[in-house]
Amino acid sequence: MRLQVLLGVALAIGCAPIEPGSSASASSSQSTESVDVRVHVRVVTWNVALLDEPGTEPYQALVDVLRRLDGDVVAINEIAEEERQTFYDLADDLGYDTAFLPETNPFGNWRNAVLSRLPVVSLDAPTSAELSGDPDATDVTRLPIVTTVEIPQTHVELRIVGQHLKAGPEDADRFRRAVDAQRTSQAAQGSQSLIVLGDMNADLALMPQDPPIWTRPPSGIPGHYRLGSDLGARLQGQGLPNDAFAPFLDLGLHPLDAKQLDGRVETRPVSGRRIDWILLSEDLLDRAEYEVYNSLNEQMGGLPKAGNPPARASSELASDHLPVFVDLDFPAH
């Protein structure tokens, strides 16, 4: 979090400005000097793919990039259980007060996680049973991380929901991706200032997919997968959109058109796909600037960053995904 102090002079209508060397009492209507203090917050999302041990080149590259971005909150995808201690080491190396990784995960070993240096009001990883109200539901691939932070010197509480939707091209994958999006949107509800971010495993330009509406689960669903009764009822009624973005658009969220500084939009360069996204609520749009970070483009400038640029190959060495970040500007009170 950064503070910026802007000094300005507001002049009363019909009065001349005070000349240098003149004086005025506190009650003078001739001039009023105002101090505009702005609070800048940076939120980052990154699928780190594999968290190597401290002391290795990939780990150091990851640290170098995250230090350069200097995010106040970092939503991370793909931390495995066996990487738990390394994740905490990463938090210590970067100086984060909060480092959260769920103890369990419904499917597979990869989990979502979060780092924060902002004061945390609440932190949760809701299950499909909790989100659906159905105690038998087990239909979330990876638990979303719901972090509510307080932005110091403002009256703003920001809800940040990190997610990682199901990957894969098969019908069962696409169905589960649509369900993951529905569950994440449920986790995101109830806040005005809202960010949903992470690896969507989907490109907005390619939505909806075929079939456009699911009316029943396709074949290939895992045996221990149990769709919650709320979404089961939707399948029998209006159906479920085969669209990873539809539930978030229904919440009034806006996907950010973040790009690399050279104009490329892909966030996973090895596949040329744009699958990592940040979506903002309406009240945050006018105060947002954003970027897909690639260390290869450091010479092109971009949004302010901390310290010295990392080695050019750092982004590629650290992960097969690129981090995406958004800067938000708030007036201090």
Q: Which of 8-22, 149-163, 244-258, 288-302 has the lowest mean pLDDT?
A: 8-22
pTM of the model: 0.90
Number of domains in the chain: 1
Q: Which of 26-30, 111-115, 155-159 has the lowest mean pLDDT?
A: 26-30
- How confident is the model at residue 5, as a pLDDT? 52
Q: Is residue 181 part of a domain?
A: yes
CA dihedral (181, 187, 189, 191) in degrees, to 10, reads: -130
- How confident is the model at residue 8, as a pLDDT? 39
Rounded distance between C-alpha atoms, residue 325 and residue 323, angstroms: 7
At 333, the pLDDT band (50, 70, 90 cuts) reads confident
- How confident is the model at residue 121, as a pLDDT? 96
Closest by CA to 143, choosing from 123, 119, 157, is 123
Q: Is residue 216 part of a domain?
A: yes
Q: Stretch 286-311: mean pLDDT, rounded?
A: 97
Contacts of 271 (CB under 8 A, 6+ apart): none
DSSP 332: -
- How confident is the model at residue 10, as a pLDDT? 31
User: At 234, which helix (H) or strand (E)?
Assistant: helix 229-236
Residue 117 has pLDDT above 60, yes or no: yes
Q: Is residue 24 part of a domain?
A: no
Residue 327 lies in domain: 2-16+31-331
CA distances from 175 to 112, 180, 213, 238 (A): 20, 9, 10, 15
CA distances from 282 to 29, 44, 185, 252, 256 (A): 38, 19, 15, 7, 12
- How confident is the model at residue 7, as a pLDDT? 40
| Cα angle for residues 104, 248, 171 (degrees, 5° grid) | 65
3-class DSSP state for residue 99?
A: strand
CATH of the domain at 95: 3.60.10.10
Q: Stretch 277-288: mean pLDDT, rounded?
A: 97
Q: Is residue 255 part of a domain?
A: yes
CA distances from 197 to 24, 223, 236, 279, 300 (A): 51, 29, 30, 6, 25
Closest by CA to 247, choosing from 192, 292, 187, is 187
Q: Is residue 320 part of a domain?
A: yes
- How confident is the model at residue 29, as a pLDDT? 41
Contacts of 81 (CB under 8 A, 6+ apart): 105, 109, 111
Residue 95 has pLDDT above 90, yes or no: yes
